[in-house]
């Protein structure tokens, strides 16, 4: 049976993001949140490379309204083996521990994980994936092509990109730690509009909930 571990998922995530054209992910991340393009590439990698399973996007169980962003299902029975819920933000959203956005995303992910546990039953592992776009400099173009240019410039005022990244990851880890095991990494997105861009990620993992005696 396929087991989607955090290491397998991280490897698939890096492979998925390396499949973008040079600088494409930087463009996508600066002009809007890149959650869906990354989700779609990740689903395709998992679908192709996990034996005995299929990957489904926007999966729901039994016709209900609640949907999981990404599900890995047993190929023959379509029983869920793992569910992945994703959210996208920016490092400026986690620039200060007291920011409202820190608590907002903590609630989003906690709710998603609880929803996934209900949908997955006792057999599915559950993951929450938080993507943080991290521009290395503020935008300088005359029109607002970069969606959150003012917020990026404000967060980088008076500190280096590395300082912002470190603080953001620390704040994100702290708010997610109560919801599972947290790992993080960096996806190199390239360069767009004269700005070097990374996408930081935090992966929260929970084991399958086994019934007593199983």
- 57 beta partners: 70
Q: What is the mean pLDDT of residues 160-189?
A: 95
Q: What is the mean pLDDT of residues 23-42?
A: 97
pTM across the whole model: 0.92
Residue pair 148/92 in contact (Cβ under 8 Å)? The answer is yes
Residues 86-110 have pLDDT tens digits of 999 999 999 999 999 999 999 999 9
Residues 44-81 have pLDDT tens digits of 999 999 999 999 999 987 666 678 999 999 999 999 99
pLDDT band at 211 (very low <50, low <70, confident <90, very high): very low
How far is it, in rounded angstroms, from Cα 15 to Cα 55?
16
For the chain, give every domain's residue range: 6-206
How far is it, in rounded angstroms, from Cα 151 to Cα 140?
13
pLDDT band at 210 (very low <50, low <70, confident <90, very high): low
């Amino acid at each position: 049976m396929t087991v989607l571990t955090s290491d397998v998922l991280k490897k698939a995530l890096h492979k998925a993001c390396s499949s973008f054209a040079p600088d494409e992910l930087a463009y996508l991340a600066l002009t809007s949140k890149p959650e869906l393009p990354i989700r779609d590439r990740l689903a395709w990698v998992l679908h192709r490379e996990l034996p005995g399973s299929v990957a489904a996007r926007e999966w729901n169980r039994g016709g209900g309204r609640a949907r999981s962003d990404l599900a890995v299902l047993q190929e023959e029975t379509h029983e869920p083996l793992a569910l992945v819920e994703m959210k996208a933000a920016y490092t400026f959203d986690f620039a200060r521990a007291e920011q409202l956005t820190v608590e907002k995303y903590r609630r989003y992910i906690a709710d998603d994980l609880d929803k996934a546990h209900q949908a997955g039953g006792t057999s599915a592992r559950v993951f929450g994936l938080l993507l943080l776009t991290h521009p290395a400099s503020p935008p300088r173009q005359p029109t607002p092509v970069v969606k959150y240019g003012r917020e990026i410039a404000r967060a980088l005022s008076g500190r280096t990109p590395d300082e912002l990244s470190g603080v953001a990851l620390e704040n994100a880890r702290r708010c997610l730690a109560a919801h599972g095991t947290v790992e993080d990494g960096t996806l190199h997105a390239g360069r767009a509009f004269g700005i070097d861009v990374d996408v930081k990620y935090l992966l929260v993992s929970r084991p399958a909930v086994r019934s007593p005696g199983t």
